Structure 1
Amino acid sequence: MESQNEFRAKVASLKDFDEAFVLVKNAVYAKFRMHRAGLSLILQVMPTNLGAYHVLGSNVIVMNSHVLATIRRLSGSEQEYNAYVFMVLAHEYLHSLGIVDENTVRQMTYDLCKTLLGEDHSSTRMAKEDPSTLFPQLRNMMQTQFSKEFQVVKNFDKAGQSYIQ
C-alpha cells in the first residue's frame, strides 16, 4: 500500500465524486479485499442527522446535499471537504458490500482511514466520532425533512459502467 503521505495527497487533490469513489474502492479493496461495481450517487436534502445512506439491496448511495453544502462552506480548505466526501463514501460503500451493522461499518471506516491517512487526518477524526467533531455548527442545523427533489450525479462510478448506456 501507499504511504500515508501519498494517500493524503490523493485525498487532498480529489476533483469530483467519481475520483473520490475510485479512491474509496481501491482503498477498500486494498484493506479488506472487498469490491463491487455499478453504484449510483444521488444528492438530496435530508434531515441533518443523516450524512448519507445506502438503500439496502440497491445500487444507490444517497448523500445529504444540505450537509455537503454546509461542510463545503464551513471547511477551511478543499482538503477538509474532500476528507468528508472520502469518509462518507467509504462508509456507504462498505454498506453497499452487504455489511448492514452500523457499528461494524463505523469501525471499518475508522480502521480504513486510520491505516491510510493516519490518526490525525480529518477523515479519520470524522470516522472515529462524527463530522460535527470538525464542524460543530452541524449540531445547530435544524433541517428535519426529506426533500422530494434530488440530483443524480452524472459520471459516477464510471469504471463500473458498461460501454452500452
Structure 2
Amino acid sequence: MKHITINFLSNNGDFERLKRGGNIKGSNTKNSDFSHQFDNPILSGEDLLDSVMDYDKIFSVVKKSVKAALGKERSGLGLALSNLPVTLGAFWQVGGNYIVMNEVLVKAMSRITRNPREFNSFVYTILTHEYLHSVGYIDEFQARQMTAFVAKHTFGSDHPAVIMSTGDIWKQYPELLSMQGGDGSVLKIISRFDTDSTSYIA
C-alpha cells in the first residue's frame, strides 16, 4: 500500500507564483484558473466553517471549493479514522476509494482548537489535500501547494484554513508532537460521508 502523507509547507516561491497567476512546476493547470482575487471569499454562511459540522458537511465544502477553484471533482470516496503516527495527518492510497485520517490528531485538535471554525479548518485542510490527490494531483509537493491555493481562493486571506494550509501545522500546534501516536492497527469507517454523491439513491 502506498501511503501519501500530508505535511504542510511554509509559504514559498511556488505559492507566490500561484497568487500572481502562474503555474507551479509539473502543473498542467492554465493560468486562467488563478485569476480570482484572493481577498474576496467565494463562499458564505455555513460554508465558511463557522458552525459545528460533521465530516460529511466539511467534505461538501471541500468539494465545492475544489470545483470552484480548479474545475475538478469526483465522487465515491469514503472516510476512515486510524491511529496513525503523529507526524502523519492522513493518507490516500493511489487508486483507492478511502481517505484515512489520523484519529489521534483529530482528537487532539478537538481539544486544542478554540472554536468550531478553527477545528473545522483543520479537518478541511487535511481532506482537501487528500481529495486533491484523488482528482489527479498525485505529486505530494504539488498537492500541498494546490491545497493552499484552493483555501485562499475559497476563503480569502485570513481564514484559519488558509493559515494552516500555507504553513506547517506541527509548528503551529507543537503540542501535537507530544501526542502518543499509533501504528495504523485500528480502522474506523465513517458511515456518513460524501452524501452529496449518494443523495440521488432512493
* Inter-partner Cα distance in structure 1 for 2:184 and 2:144: 26
CA distance in 2, matches of 1:8, 1:102: 31
Instruction: State the partner residue of 1:125.
Output: 163
Q: Residue in 2 aligned with 1:112? A: 150
Does the CA-based 8 Å contact 2:73-2:135 persist in structure 1? yes
Match of 1:148 in 2: 185
Quick check: 1:36–1:97 contact (8 Å CA) kept in 2?
A: yes
* Pair 107,48 (structure 1): closer, same or farther in 2 beyond 3 Å: same
Bigger Cα displacement from structure 2, 118-127 vs 49-58? 118-127
- The farther-off stretch of 67-76 and 117-126 is 117-126
Choose from 115, 131, 134 the match for 1:96.
134
What is the TM-score with the length of structure 1 in the denominator?
Answer: 0.89
> Which letter does structure 2 place at the counterpart of 1:31?
A
Map residues 23-62 of structure 1 onto 2, 5 A cutoff: 23-62=61-100
User: Measured at CA, do residues 124 and 153 of structure 1 come closer, stay the same or move farther in structure 2, by a change above 3 Å?
Assistant: same
RMSD: 2.0
Paired AA for residue 121 in structure 1: H
Unaligned runs of 5+ residues in structure 1 are: none
Larger radius of gyration between Structure 1 and Structure 2 = 2
Structure 2 unmatched ranges of 5 or more: 1-35
Identity %: 32
> What does residue 201 of structure 2 align with?
163
State the Cα deviation string for residues 45-81 of structure 1 (Å, max 9, x = none): 1000011111110111000000000000111111110
Asked whether the equivalents of residues 18 and 158 of structure 1 are also in contact (C-alpha less than 8 Å), the reply is yes
Mean CA deviation greater in 52-61 or 3-12? 3-12
Deviation, 1:5, is 8.1
Distance (whole Å) between structure 2 residues aligned to residue 95 and residue 101 of structure 1: 8
More helix by share: 1
Q: 1:84 aligns with which of 122, 126, 151?
A: 122
Normalized against structure 2, the TM-score is what? 0.74
Post-superposition CA distance 1:131-161 (Å, at most 9, x none): 2243121133342x32322110011011223
Aligned length: 162
What's the CA shift for 1:111? 0.7
Matched residues in 2 for 1:57 and 1:84: separation? Answer: 25
Q: Helix, strand or coil for the counterpart of 2:87?
A: coil
